[in-house]
Structure 1
Amino acid sequence: MLDYRYQTFLTLTEEMNYTTTAKRLHITQPAVTQHIQSLQQELGVELIHYEKRQLSLTAKGKQLQKDLYLLQREIAKVEEQLTSTVEHNTLVFGASLTIGEYMMPGLIESYLNQYPAHDISMVTDNTQHLIELMEHGKIDFAFVEGEFNQSVFEFQKIGEEPFIAVCSEKSSLWKQEQSINDLFSTPLLVREEGSGSRLIFETAIKSKGIHLDSFSKVMMIGSIGATKKLVEKNLGISFIYQRAVEAELNKGILKKIPLSDFNVIHPFYLIYLKRIQVRGMETMKNFLKVAESN
């Protein structure tokens, strides 16, 4: 169990209101204030800043919040291991959408064939949200294709994939090689902000002095499946991992646009926080071995 003041602090960071925090913890509002003040005095840092009737977390407060979420998860795992009469391993991890949809099913099948008694819990989300889940202790590690802070995370490359432009078979864009500049008049379908593939695309075109605004029309689509359907209907083009459209390319309903000045191959990584030891490290390593052998 965490010190009661830390529990109060975490609840306050979620509610950002002293009154609702007190109600949630079934204590008085002055007690909440006293817990926070006592914690700040003991640590010698300001954690909560109050100005113009607004609460905000300081940099130290944000760091403590992240560390406490992780510590809570570690404590819960220890308690579970101590009280459980049956030893079993559970993988709790995340995968960015492309990896989760197009790589993980085969990897999970291979893993469970080797370790049938193990449990698996996988969250699929964009890279930014997966990083937040790791920082909050909700998942232990993640497979991502997006950018991440390498000073904060341990990482291991698990593969790489071409990142290509695709259009409908009904379009003429795939019939001859051209420059990315020749695509500006064509509607562009992109993923939501926070998506790893969108960041990769924006980074790649930025190096060429190109911005999303260079395209005449940009539509944000949060689903890979919906993006592919819209491209298939010739409502725009998209830049996407080749593996995500492999089936459609083989059927001929989507076509790769040959570009003379866009050649991007991006790695996929397994990442986890450096400052916290991942529970079940051996289990994670076993999963990684399966990933490397596929």
Structure 2
Amino acid sequence: MLDYRYQTFLTLTEEMNYTTTAKRLHITQPAVTQHIQSLQQELGVELIHYEKRQLSLTAKGKQLQKDLYLLQREIAKVEEQLTSTVEHTTLSFGASLTIGEYMMPGLIESYLNQYPVHDISMVTDNTQHLIELMEHGKIDFAIVEGEFNQSVFEFQKIAEEPFIAVCSEKSSLWKQEQSINDLFSTPLLVREEGSGSRLIFETAIKSKGTHLDSFSKVMTIGSIGATKKLVEKDLGISFIYQMAVEEELNKGILKKIPLSDFNVIHPFHLIYLKRIQVRGMETIKNFFLENRVGIMNP
């Protein structure tokens, strides 16, 4: 268990209000204030800044919050191991949406065939949210296509995947080679902000001196499945990982748009925080290395 002052601090960082923090912890508001003041005096740093009736976390406060979330998770793991009568391993991780839906099912099957007594807990979300989950100690590692801070995370490349433009079979765009500029008059479907796929696309076109505003119409769609359906109905085009549209390409209902000036092959990475030790990480990394050939594109 965490020191009660640290628990009060964490609750306050979530509520950002002394009154609601007191109610949640079933203590008085002066007690919350006393806990925070005692903690700040002991550590010799300001954690919570109060100005114009607004609370905010200082840089030290934000760092302590992240470290406490990770420590809280480690304590929970130790308690679970001590109270459990059966020794077992649970993989708690995240995968960005494309990876989670189109790559992980086969890998999970292979992993469970190799380690049948292990448990799996996977969440799918965009890269930005998965990073936040790791920093809050909710998951141990993630498999992402988006960017991450390499000074904060250990990482290992596990795959590479073509990132392509697709249109409906009803469109004429796939019938001859195009340039990015030729597509500006066509409605574009993109993922939400924070998505690795969107960042990859924006970075790629920015390197060519253009941006999303160059397209006549841009629609934000948070679902890969919905995006594919809308493209199939010829309501726009999209840029997407090839693995996500492999079935539709094979059936001919979606078509790859041949582009003379867009050739992106992007890596997928396994990432985890440098400052914590993830149990079983060597086993996990070795598994992905052994299965690398099966998921890397030629």
Normalised by the length of structure 2, the TM-score is 0.96
| CA deviation profile, 1:155-174 (whole Å, cap 9, x unmatched) | 00001000000000000000
| CA deviation profile, 1:248-270 (whole Å, cap 9, x unmatched) | 00000000000000000000000
The alpha-carbon deviation at position 279 of structure 1 amounts to 2.6
Q: Is the 8 A contact 1:142 1:272 kept in 2?
A: yes
1:225 matched to 2:225? The reply is: yes
The alpha-carbon deviation at position 4 of structure 1 amounts to 0.8
The alpha-carbon deviation at position 281 of structure 1 amounts to 2.5
Q: Is the 8 A contact 1:107 1:290 kept in 2?
A: no
Q: Is the 8 A contact 1:173 1:257 kept in 2?
A: yes
The alpha-carbon deviation at position 178 of structure 1 amounts to 1.3
| CA deviation profile, 1:21-56 (whole Å, cap 9, x unmatched) | 011111111110011011111111111111111111
Q: Is the 8 A contact 1:134 1:273 kept in 2?
A: yes
The alpha-carbon deviation at position 114 of structure 1 amounts to 1.2
Distance in 2 separating the partners of 1:281 and 1:200: 27
The alpha-carbon deviation at position 293 of structure 1 amounts to 9.1
Distance in 2 separating the partners of 1:141 and 1:111: 16
Q: Is the 8 A contact 2:249 2:256 kept in 1?
A: yes
Q: Is the 8 A contact 2:142 2:271 kept in 1?
A: yes
Q: Is the 8 A contact 2:188 2:218 kept in 1?
A: yes
Moved over 2 A (4+): 279-294
Distance in 2 separating the partners of 1:140 and 1:279: 9
Distance in 2 separating the partners of 1:10 and 1:224: 35
* Secondary structure of residue in 2 paired with 1:194: coil
The alpha-carbon deviation at position 85 of structure 1 amounts to 1.3
Distance in 1 separating the partners of 2:294 and 2:80: 28
Q: Is the 8 A contact 1:154 1:273 kept in 2?
A: yes
Q: Is the 8 A contact 2:159 2:296 kept in 1?
A: no
The alpha-carbon deviation at position 292 of structure 1 amounts to 6.8
With over 3 angstroms needed to count, the CA separation of the structure-2 counterparts of 1:83 and 1:282, relative to structure 1, is farther
| CA deviation profile, 1:69-110 (whole Å, cap 9, x unmatched) | 000000010111111111011100000000000000000011
Q: Which 5+ residue runs of structure 1 have no aligned equivalent?
A: none
* Secondary structure of residue in 2 paired with 1:259: coil
The alpha-carbon deviation at position 285 of structure 1 amounts to 3.2
Q: Is the 8 A contact 1:168 1:254 kept in 2?
A: yes
Normalised by the length of structure 1, the TM-score is 0.97
- Which range moved further: 222-231 or 79-88? 79-88
Q: Is the 8 A contact 1:107 1:291 kept in 2?
A: no
Q: Is the 8 A contact 1:49 1:58 kept in 2?
A: yes
1:290 to 259, 277, 293: 293
Give the number of equivalent residue pairs. 294
With over 3 angstroms needed to count, the CA separation of the structure-2 counterparts of 1:260 and 1:290, relative to structure 1, is closer
Aligned residue in 1 for 2:3: 3
Q: Is the 8 A contact 1:111 1:290 kept in 2?
A: no
With over 3 angstroms needed to count, the CA separation of the structure-2 counterparts of 1:145 and 1:52, relative to structure 1, is same
* Secondary structure of residue in 2 paired with 1:268: strand
Q: Please tell me the root mean square deviation across aligned C-alpha atoms, in Å.
A: 1.5
With over 3 angstroms needed to count, the CA separation of the structure-2 counterparts of 1:293 and 1:161, relative to structure 1, is closer
With over 3 angstroms needed to count, the CA separation of the structure-2 counterparts of 1:4 and 1:155, relative to structure 1, is same
| CA deviation profile, 1:149-203 (whole Å, cap 9, x unmatched) | 0000000000100000000000000000011000000000000000000000000
With over 3 angstroms needed to count, the CA separation of the structure-2 counterparts of 1:291 and 1:47, relative to structure 1, is farther
Q: Is the 8 A contact 1:110 1:290 kept in 2?
A: no
Q: Is the 8 A contact 2:160 2:296 kept in 1?
A: no
